Chains A and B, each alone.
Chain A
């Protein structure tokens, strides 16, 4: 179980609503490597625990728009908003270094929507 290395600054600020509840793991990080954040289902679009919220300008610059399948799982995520993505579907690159993402504090039952 490896944790995201904060010195990479891909994620530099947590939600004001306190602790993260997701379990983040990153693949090995040699300099310049790409990595993804995954959650409980290990990146298979079967949960919403890797939910991240981007700033609008960063969200717009993400190279791949969300598929229907990603949108479907995002619909179950707590704190869903227009700049939400599932971390496991985004390949983070060096150019994204320093961007700020918010990790919502909770995951919630889908049927509360």
Chain B
């Protein structure tokens, strides 16, 4: 009797285990940046009965942490340690070098997995839509950052740094990152993990003056104070902050929140520094406000850029946080030899069936659930738009993770049949000759990059060519 009772107890115990996730246990995440990893983190911590596969287009993981964060911001990349422990937890399998949308389709994934989480970020540019935007030496910030960070597809970016003045359109943190990389002394850059081709180009760069041009005013700068301080402290670099109505700004300050007050005070204080004190600085950056790009011009003899024509704005309305921008009709030309557009990014739909908002460049979703596609979720920039630091993506990942578990536990599932999981996908990939890269193989590549970095006194020497990445990654196994 006791024995029977014992077995009945065990039976119910195991039934209960299965009951926690009635809909199934195979999940996949598309994208291995912060959004993918933080969503995975939430799922792993809160649900023992699921397995997660993480697909990534490149052979290497970590997304913008590897390819977006500036080379001289190494501490921000510490999150890689967190992601590495998630990848090695035994609950997640990294499958790199697989392009969803090409090697496998969204439908293939929905057939194989109970849940699909789209976390593939925003890899497209936004466009100003002005004449001359296609000229040489006019590039998006996204491409420029990819170039100095060793993103394979930008390694051959055509840039002419043999000019004196670069204009950056936009006043966010990405704009400051680019200005800082253009002006930082080479002795500092050469000790970072900046891509070798970029380091070489920057050694030969003639750029002395970087102008950051924004439509709005000092009270609306989108960059944050830490990054502004870094700019002010750049060695051998002076700055010029073009303030037009200091009294108005000072009057607004008491009405602002602490963060806005502190950064505005820092701007005012820096604008006070007399130019004479730093007149011998060989390089300079400038903040130019109230200017909207209207046209890019080049001289008739040259193929490259000569200047940016801008319209002069005034700001209206009582809401200084979100003022209306009014064109005064006045125009001026800012001479320059290079233009970098730092105006944000967009996503693209991974498949035609994906409900997509083409104006905002995001997937149509509510609370992470993709509209009209049960079992499909999205997380990070592809869901919210390309705004936010890693900390906000952490939040997004955990929120979406919660919704996924809610749905799985309620029984709101894609179907009642059992899903096959990763094997069917892997055999499909094998038939197509795709070579998936595992996390252990990434670690081989990781070690090689660090080894090569040692010779150059850099934390790592990033490998730029995808074929080389795969060959090195798989070398230990051959």
Contact = CB atoms under 8 A, between A and B. Distances in A.
B281 interface: no
Nearest to B263: A75
Contacts of A42: 75, 78, 81
Nearest to A49: B391
Contact of A111 (B222, B226, B257, B262): B222
Nearest to A25: B82
Contacts of A39: 391
B82 A23 contact: yes
Interface string A71-83: 1110110001000
Contacts of A71: 262
A37 interface: no
Given A44-B75, A76-B224, A113-B259, A1 B85 contact: yes
B75 A73 contact: no
A12 interface: no
B229 interface: yes
Interface in A77-113: 80, 106-111, 113
B321 to A, nearest CB: 9
A23 B389 CA distance: 16
A42 B84 CA distance: 14
A75 B225 contact: yes
B394 A49 contact: yes
A40 B79 contact: yes
Contacts of A55: none
Given A46-B78, A47-B76, A76-B259, A108 B394 contact: no
A69 B75 CA distance: 14
B258 A75 contact: yes
A105 to B, nearest CB: 9
B222 A107 contact: no
Contacts of A80: 257-259
B contact patch SS: helix
B122 to A, nearest CB: 14
A53 interface: no
Interface residues of A, number: 28
Interface string B310-346: 0000000000000000000000000000000000000
Interface string B43-79: 0000000000000000000000000000001011011
B260 interface: yes
Contacts of B394: 21, 40, 49, 107
Contacts of B81: 42
A47 B257 CA distance: 19
Contact of B389 (A21, A69, A72, A109): A109
B273 interface: no
B223 to A, nearest CB: 9
A107 B78 contact: no
A88 to B, nearest CB: 11
Contact of B226 (A21, A40, A69, A109): A69
B82 A40 contact: yes
A41 interface: yes
A108 B398 CA distance: 13
B23 to A, nearest CB: 23
Contacts of A44: 75, 78
B393 to A, nearest CB: 9
Contacts of A40: 78-79, 82, 390-391, 394
A108 B73 CA distance: 20
A49 B73 CA distance: 17
Contacts of A109: 387-389, 392
A8 to B, nearest CB: 21
B392 A107 contact: yes
A45 interface: yes
Given A44-B75, A46-B75, A72 B391 contact: no
7 contacts: A42-B81, A47-B389, A48-B391, A71-B262, A75-B225, A75-B259, A111-B387
